[in-house]
Amino acid sequence: VIKCKAAVAWEAGKPLCLEEVEVAPPKAHEVRIKIVATAVCHTDAYTLSGADPEGCFPVILGHEGAGIVESVGEGVTKVKPGDTVIPLYIPQCGECKFCKNPKTNLCQKIRVTQGKGVMPDGTSRFTCKGKQIYHFMGTSTFSEYTVVADISVAKIDAAAPLDKVCLLGCGISTGYGAAVNTAKVEPGSTCAVFGLGGVGLAVIMGCKIAGASRIIGIDLNKDKYAKAKEFGAAECISPQDFKKPIQEVLVEMTDGGVDYSFECIGNVGVMRAALEACHKGWGVSVIVGVAAAGQEISTRPFQLVTGRTWKGTAFGGWKSVDSVPKLVTEYMSRKIKVDEFVTHTLPFDKINEAFELMHTGK
């Protein structure tokens, strides 16, 4: 058993507490990882807020991390101690019908136990003050050591800087893949990106790499425009600056609507606007943001009858074990940006400050 520091969420709506936790050794087909770097994502904040129907407490959150394999359980063949890895919140077992189908990346092998906050055998590897602590998204990267299923880990280039590539565990991969895998943006396309946080910037990057000729960023926070333009947005607009709905503004700006739109916020009203901003006959809108529990999307069916398509994406459609090492290689060869997404680097004990920076849009 390893004793180490972890940021424990004891209950919903309260700041994380830095605690000493015990991390049990990995069982069969499990891997124990020393986490070197972790990022914070809105999904962690969403669960911490108490709005997540799958949220269990007490829990160790975090799902964008990178580290070094410390030990492996029986039957683990893909990684060994000392390997550099990224934990994966969407695993890839290679055996289920989802893994065998090229149309999806949503491996279902450990979905049920992962959603309940436990390892595949139904138990937790974390304890603190005599209490069992739940796992989160199969990763729990807000701990100096974590245990994951062996299908939930990707071995990456040992030379990669872990404080950067940890971002490929969720946000950057999600946005980039939404553009290149889910929407399949074509050269010369016009694109609209709603929400200019980390995921939105990654979508802009993906659209740019795919050859889009015009990318429009939409956000209420004008402080985000400069960064969006650095990543490839031609112009940025705020819905608050117009008297009419933003979809009407975009349709006018683009001679009938955009070829591709992306919702990177998790707001069902914006999801509707993103669809309706698409061009009749061929426009495609991709939902990337995660809406709160129980919310529903709506539009007039005529929007779809007249040739628009509504799609969704999880982890950008990447089959995780196969794709994450390739994404790291693309970063190392400068095909994709990662460093540019990092605004602040804080010590682990300042993790609550990191959440505050995220909530204020900084």
Find residue 69's DSSP bridge partners: 33
Q: Is the model's pLDDT at 278 over the cut of 90?
A: yes
- Report the pLDDT averaged over residues 234-253: 98
Spacing of C-alpha 37 from chain mean position: 16
How far is Cα 138 from Cα 114, in angstroms, rounded to an integer?
A: 5
Q: Which residues, 6+ apart, have CB-to-CB distance to 11 below 8 Å?
A: 57, 58
Q: Please state which of the four CATH numbers 3.40.50.720, 3.30.750.24, 3.30.1050.10, 1.10.150.130 is assigned to the domain occupying 172-314.
A: 3.40.50.720
Return the CATH superfamily for domain 2-169+319-352. Answer: Medium-chain alcohol dehydrogenases, catalytic domain (3.90.180.10)
What are the extents of the domains in the chain? 2-169+319-352, 172-314
Each residue's pLDDT tens digit, 145-158: 999 999 999 999 99
Contact 174, 306 (CB under 8 A): no
DSSP assignment of 216-272 equals EEE-S-GGGHHHHHHHT-SEEE-GGG-SS-HHHHHHHHTTS-BSEEEE-S--HHHHH
Give the number of other CB atoms < 10 A from CB of residue 24.
17
- At 53, the pLDDT band (50, 70, 90 cuts) reads confident
Q: Which of 88-92, 153-157, 264-268, 358-362 has the lowest mean pLDDT?
A: 358-362
How far is Cα 38 from Cα 236, in angstroms, rounded to an integer?
A: 30
Each residue's pLDDT tens digit, 73-83: 999 999 999 99
Find, among 64, 93, 79, the residue nearest to 32 by Cα. Answer: 79
Question: Could you tell me the pTM of the whole model?
Answer: 0.96
- Report the pLDDT averaged over residues 13-29: 98
How far is Cα 348 from Cα 341, in angstroms, rounded to an integer?
A: 19
Each residue's pLDDT tens digit, 318-352: 999 999 999 999 999 999 999 999 999 999 999 99
How far is Cα 152 from Cα 139, in angstroms, rounded to an integer?
A: 8
Structure tokens at 216: 């429009």
Each residue's pLDDT tens digit, 110-126: 999 999 999 999 999 99
- What is the share, in percent, of the chain residues with pLDDT greater than 70? 100
pLDDT for 52 equals 85
Q: Which of 47-51, 55-59, 90-94 has the lowest mean pLDDT?
A: 47-51
pLDDT for 279 equals 98
pLDDT for 180 equals 98
pLDDT for 274 equals 98
pLDDT for 361 equals 86
